Structure 1
Amino acid sequence: MTGRRLTRPTSLRGSNGVAFGPDGRLYVAQFLAGRISAVDLASGDVEVVVPADGPVQAPDDLAFGADGSMYITDLVPGRVWRRRPDGTFSLVTDQVRLPNGITCVGDRLFVNEMIPDGRLLELREDGPVVLTGGLAMGNAMQLGPDGCLYYPHMLTGEVFRIPPGGGEPELVAANVHEPVAVRFDQGGVLMVLSRGAAGIVTRLDLFGSGAESLVTSGIPGLDNAAFDTENRMFVSSYAGGGITELHPDGRTREVAPRGLAGPYGVTIDLGGAVHTADHYRIASPQGPADDVTTTELLTFVHGITADGDLLHLTSQYGQVRTYNRTTRDVRTRATGLDQPLGITVDGDGALLVAEAGAGRVVTISLDDTVAVLADGLGRPVDVALDEQGRCYVSDEDRGAVYRIDDGVPAVLADGLDRPQGIVVTGGRLFAAETGQHRVIAVDLATGERRTTAEIPAGEATDREQPALFAHGLPGVPGPFAGLAAAADGSLYLAADGTVRHFTPAETR
């Protein structure tokens, strides 16, 4: 039994830089998936043209040269690649820190850096040439009708321009809503995309009336845009993926459907609502028409557990945070942990966290004191509590699930193939055994185990891609299939782009 999907499948789980290729298709860089796809706008068909097992690890933006070559910014490794029309790759440079925005001007190639005090550079055969520095996190840029390069400062809400030959940057617009990309339509009007939850696009008619207006798309986490020859605007979303046509009046038409980027952890609150940790946001997979509702854009969320109005969250990059759904406040509970993943909360309000990189389980008290509950594990992925308050932990490296007795791990089940998410309900422990694409149930009293559900094979559980780090900034998170149980005994599995629901009858 594979359960019922709560969201539509999407072939673009996270979509970043977009550009039209010589064949008329829209090419999409997918940072989280580590690949590049091409979308046929007429049919919506999506083809992977640069798979995740190639030289490009974290593609974030792309542009096409005059000869049809695709130039790709490989964000985390700090590389820029050229993919020739025959499909062969060559490295343009590895001398750029967090390269993101990229554009071609004839035979010239320009990139900028998505870091504080970043640089805008021209990439020449004899090496990078700096046009200017001081970028407050650059991103998608484009040549304007006046022959200048336009680019955003993500941290300051500004847009600047500079001649391709260099010079003093000129401020074009200030107080722009969370700018992430600048794009010109076919009429020369500047569109500045916002990365915020409302999906705002600021329209600046710089070379005509000078008017400024806002379009609200409702698409959270806009990332980039491209205009076709008919001046239709197509946008991507780093948070929800997909490709959407955005009309001037704010109406939208999905070309490739949006969905979940991960998802990673999953939890059920007391009201029965499902919440997922989806890397860039907290999301609920129970929106209208099998859609996904964004609760909050909150970067780097991976583990999640509900606690009344609170959602406790981990990040594989070292943080544990608590999000208050009523006030929308975020409280940092711990930092500097080594890949914290699964999380749960005990009856006294203390947090228990599987610290995968350190091979241990830690507790975080109400006053945010961190203590070690158990160590000496391989790679603990998730934690769960039974009705007596006893702690269980899955260890994907050692293929086992342990019960923690007085700080000592005792084997409950071993010989498993990459167990990840776990949950305890009805006297049984359920574990997502991702290496075998199944969910197993282990009787806590007898140790008897059996398969209760199947996990469809997919990228999130199959792909072994560890987290990458460069220049102090995080990269692609590793896979993590989450499990949660509702009060009626039904199970929810977060993996491979969706959340699946298994009824109590399916898990018996």
Structure 2
Amino acid sequence: MNGFHARSLTRPTPLRGSNGVAFGPDGRLYVAQFLAGEISAVDLATGDVEVVVPAGGPVQAPDDLAFGADGSMYLTDLVPGRVWRRQPDTTFTLVTDQVRLPNGIACVGDRLFVNEMVPGGRLLELGEAEPKVLTGGLAMGNAMQLGPDGALYYPHMLTGEVFRIPPDGGTPELVAADVHEPVAVRFDLGGVLHVLSRGAAGIVTRIDLFSTGDRELVTSGLSGLDNAAFDPENRMFVSSFAAGGITELHPDGRTREITPRGFAGPYGVTVDFGGTVHVADHYRVAEPRDGDVATTELLTFTHGIAADGDLLHLTSQYGQVRTYDRATRAVRTRADGLDQPLGIAVDADDALVVAEAGAGRVLAIDADDEISVLTSGLGRPVDVAADDEGHWYVSDEAHGTVYRLDDGTPIPVAVDLDAPQGIAVSDGRLYVAETGTGRLITLDLATGETTATDLPAGPPSFRDLPALKAHGIPGVPRPFAGLAAAPGQSLYLTAEGTILHLTPAEHP
């Protein structure tokens, strides 16, 4: 790589975010990938992964899946609110678009059931006619399954409960309360109920409903569990919406990696004064560590990030700016209702400076959370950075320009760029991730000299869906490349599923 050495800090994962899982007729484990918009099949013996439903087709945001008696795959397409059937010949048929955020799905013979992941959601049977409502009032449903007693079991994510209901309808019955952050229910071959937790500790609650009634907690350490499936040998395989991959989870909590876990994005990146690299990874704040990814905290919808002592300042494309205190784990909302805030940095007066991409503005948020506009009228500002003299710079992806803000007036300093996104300033140089060409642009701020370096990897390739929200619930975020400077003209860049550490070529 001319001009810089590039080293990937983490290994890639073929499943960047793994959600619903189910065994297919061929014995492979099929995995829905909400963020990537794909369905993959995993050979559990070899770990090989094949993308069987690529992004860009009719399915936009697959979250759960199940197989029918004839081998058809049924998919819940969360954000658009659709349910699809993929027939054995790979053709797609729309089952319904009359659902709100369909998530949990189950096949019972030739019958198909889905539930809605919204407050006050419904559990529905889908068929040739209008959807039949079995029950309403779900406090955000999710992965469900037919139990040994012939009832459908499903979680209430908001209330920590598990219910069951006969497939023909009736009054739901509470079967478990005070369950830790339930996200999915699954029965093993012995009829024991396993309730997965979406929390950071990776807790699974095992309940022997039909024998002793005993309850047992297993802590796996797998943050952000999403779903599970049992093979014919009663081995349990789990997915993680936060870390991706597929992992075998033993009854005693031991784990065996089948496909590697890693970043779901990543998005923004920052370096604190101690040299620790912090990454905004949509569902969490994380650190690259010894080739792996360690979860700092599950903080959903984190995209931009800036380190400030023990504080991490975060943006969400869904409108929020928050501050996370690493010492106390407290989270403070600094702003809400913004239009796609992305890049964030801290000025000399401890105010937060934010690129509000959707509104074409750069904002300042002071210590009292008062918001002021530093500049407006931009195309799509993505990132912000300051030089040693306190001048602010902003990348404008839509206009292909990086501006310096002079008393609020944007002055072009780099033009005719192809989708500039992440920027950083260090030792008198402005660095720009030019994602349209896959280059790193270096501008000497004193002389105006510009050089370009080809990058070995591009930004995350998730689809740019037009709607960031559906039914009031966040959907798929827009990818962008984050860039952060460290001492010694070293840079960190978020790339395709990893973090690249860029060091000048003359350095070892």
Partner of 1:451: 452
Partner of 1:380: 381
Partner of 2:60: 57
- Count of aligned pairs: 505
Partner of 1:476: 476
Partner of 2:417: 416
Aligned partners of 1:189 and 1:206 also within 8 Å? yes
Aligned partners of 2:458 and 2:495 also within 8 Å? no
Partner of 2:233: 230
Distance in 2, Cα, partners of 1:462 & 1:440: 23
Structure-to-structure mapping, 1:241-320, within 5 angstroms: 241-286=244-289, 288=290, 290-320=291-321
Deviation at 1:462, TM superposition (A): 7.7
Matched, 1:357 2:353: no
Distance in 2, Cα, partners of 1:469 & 1:267: 27
Partner of 1:209: 212
Aligned partners of 1:14 and 1:33 also within 8 Å? yes
Distance in 2, Cα, partners of 1:447 & 1:90: 57
Deviation at 1:211, TM superposition (A): 1.4
TM-score by length of 2: 0.98
Aligned partners of 2:267 and 2:303 also within 8 Å? yes
Matched, 1:127 2:130: yes
SS in 2 for 1:357: helix
Deviation at 1:464, TM superposition (A): 3.8
Distance in 2, Cα, partners of 1:330 & 1:356: 23
Aligned partners of 1:99 and 1:111 also within 8 Å? yes
SS in 1 for 2:436: helix
Task: Please give the per-residue CA displacement for 1:68-95, whole angstroms capped at 9, x wherever unaligned.
Answer: 1100000011000000011100100000
Task: Please give the per-residue CA displacement for 1:110-133, whole angstroms capped at 9, x wherever unaligned.
Answer: 000001111101011101000001
In structure 2, the CA distance between the partners of 1:486 and 1:215, relative to structure 1 (3 Å rule), is same
Deviation at 1:506, TM superposition (A): 6.2
1:89 to 92, 105, 121: 92
In structure 2, the CA distance between the partners of 1:180 and 1:134, relative to structure 1 (3 Å rule), is same
Percent of aligned pairs with the same amino acid:
76
Deviation at 1:96, TM superposition (A): 0.5
Deviation at 1:279, TM superposition (A): 0.2
Distance in 2, Cα, partners of 1:334 & 1:507: 41
Partner of 2:19: 16
Unaligned runs of at least 5 residues, structure 2: none
Structure 1 ranges of 4+ moved more than 6 A:
none
TM-score by length of 1: 0.98
Distance in 2, Cα, partners of 1:452 & 1:280: 31
Aligned partners of 1:466 and 1:476 also within 8 Å? no
In structure 2, the CA distance between the partners of 1:24 and 1:462, relative to structure 1 (3 Å rule), is closer
2:164 to 154, 161, 166: 161
SS in 1 for 2:457: coil
Unaligned runs of at least 5 residues, structure 1: none
Deviation at 1:463, TM superposition (A): 4.6
Aligned partners of 1:99 and 1:114 also within 8 Å? yes
Aligned partners of 2:434 and 2:440 also within 8 Å? yes
Partner of 1:486: 486
Partner of 1:389: 390
Deviation at 1:451, TM superposition (A): 1.7
Distance in 2, Cα, partners of 1:251 & 1:74: 32
Moved more, 297-306 or 210-219: 210-219
Aligned partners of 2:37 and 2:463 also within 8 Å? no
Aligned partners of 2:61 and 2:80 also within 8 Å? yes
Aligned partners of 1:453 and 1:506 also within 8 Å? no
Partner of 2:325: 324
Distance in 2, Cα, partners of 1:302 & 1:206: 41
Structure-to-structure mapping, 1:139-150, within 5 angstroms: 139-150=142-153
